[in-house]
Amino acid sequence: MIYYAAIPIELVFENIENNYPNFQEIDYNGVKLIVEPFKFNSWKIVRIISSNPYDYMNPLYQPGNIINL
């Protein structure tokens, strides 16, 4: 990428490491899920990692759902 700016490059990339989501891989009922923290003790499903096609059809594991651990 090329950035053209009239400000110092340090200001352009300041706190860039804080902009990445905090994804974690968990095992939930035998299914691997990529989740991100939602609220205290709650997680939002981002992605399913499974070789079982029925896991993708299960509405419990659909991305966007909130699970409690």
Within a domain: 49: yes
Domain enclosing residue 64, as ranges: 20-68
Mean model confidence pLDDT for the chain: 86
pLDDT band, residue 54 (cuts 50/70/90): very high
Residue 41 tokens read as: 């003790």
Number of domains the chain is built from: 1
pLDDT by residue (tens digit) across 5-25? 688 777 777 776 666 678 999
pTM of the model: 0.69
Distances (CA, A) of 44 to 4, 8, 15, 48, 68: 36, 37, 24, 12, 9
DSSP 55: H
Within a domain: 58: yes
- Rounded to 10 degrees, the C-alpha dihedral 5/11/17/18 comes to -110
Quote the pLDDT of residue 20: 66
